[in-house]
Amino acid sequence: MKTPVSSISTTAQESLRDSIAREKKQDRRAGALSASVTFGWRALLKIKHVPEQLFDVTAFPIIFLLMFTYLFGGAIAGSTGDYLQFLLPGILVMTVTMITMYTGMDLNKDIVKGVFDRFRTLPIWRPALLVGALAVDMVRYSMAAFIMISLGLLLGFRPEGGTVGVLAAVALLLVFSFSFSWIWTALGIMMRSEKSLMMISMMFLFPLTFVSNVFVDPATLPSWLHGFVEWNPISLLVTAIRGLMHGSASIEDIGWVLLVSMLLTAVFAPLTMYLFRHKR
């Protein structure tokens, strides 16, 4: 029994339509959210396969807090217990701020290995590569904050601002860290090697974190240094974090940190995207 010609024609048309529909679906550009989640998952898988890279958010906070508390506590505050109340918010800021540079270092590795160029050829939302990595970094910063605050509570840290104050302080720290990370993403694209990026990062971060109010009250510093420490972005952040944790933060303190965060993002996020698009 022969199949009618009209039936064959209809079947062929349906098959052709299905084929075109599948091709359109395959060629469809990945959305911003799905692409960002994919690259975020990629960053998490890198942590899974190389877990030692979490050393900076696990061991470093513990080493810094124990070392500075028991090494300088008695000399500066008279007792380690009193100094811990002052020091922990500052060390928390210092630790998280210093590990923000790893965002740029991971990006620089992708550029050197050629992975970066392959990603740029994909039909995706271009910023997804950066947004996904920065989102995962928020997880790393949260881990560092959790570890340090937990250790501080075991050592005797007692935040007068309570749980709400501590959570607000961590949230403010994450906002600042996200904006601060854009500096290193821009440098990660500009620098030609991971070592050069690390050198530049350390030259910038060490003066910024140590010449601040992390360890001592600025009132005890010489007048020529006092002004720089007072307006150091790290000092502004530490003042707000201390205030939130101990229940004495002012709207002005928080406002300065948010203003600095917005300025950093407004300057370095567009710069990063420009370098991202025009990288040769």
Query: Residue 267: its pLDDT value, please?
Result: 94
The answer to whether position 245 is within a domain reads yes
The answer to whether position 201 is within a domain reads yes
Query: Residue 27: its pLDDT value, please?
Result: 47
Six-digit token string for 241: 């974090």
pLDDT digits (tens, 9 = 90+) for 57-88: 778 888 888 888 888 888 777 788 889 999 99
Mean pLDDT by groups of 10 residues along the chain of 280 residues: 51 59 52 76 73 72 86 81 91 89 81 76 75 83 89 92 94 94 89 84 89 87 84 94 93 95 94 80
Query: Residue 167: its pLDDT value, please?
Result: 95
The answer to whether position 24 is within a domain reads no
Which segments of the chain does DSSP mark as H helices, in order?
5-27, 32-49, 55-77, 80-99, 101-113, 115-120, 128-155, 162-190, 194-210, 223-231, 233-246, 251-278
- Taking alpha carbons only, the member of 29, 30, 28 closest to residue 39 is 30
The answer to whether position 15 is within a domain reads no
Query: Residue 136: its pLDDT value, please?
Result: 81
The answer to whether position 36 is within a domain reads yes
The answer to whether position 240 is within a domain reads yes
User: Could you tell me the pTM of the whole model?
Assistant: 0.81
Q: How many domains does the chain have?
A: 1
The answer to whether position 122 is within a domain reads yes
The answer to whether position 9 is within a domain reads no
Domain boundaries, position 174? 31-278
pLDDT digits (tens, 9 = 90+) for 108-157: 887 777 777 777 777 777 777 778 888 888 888 888 899 889 999 999 99
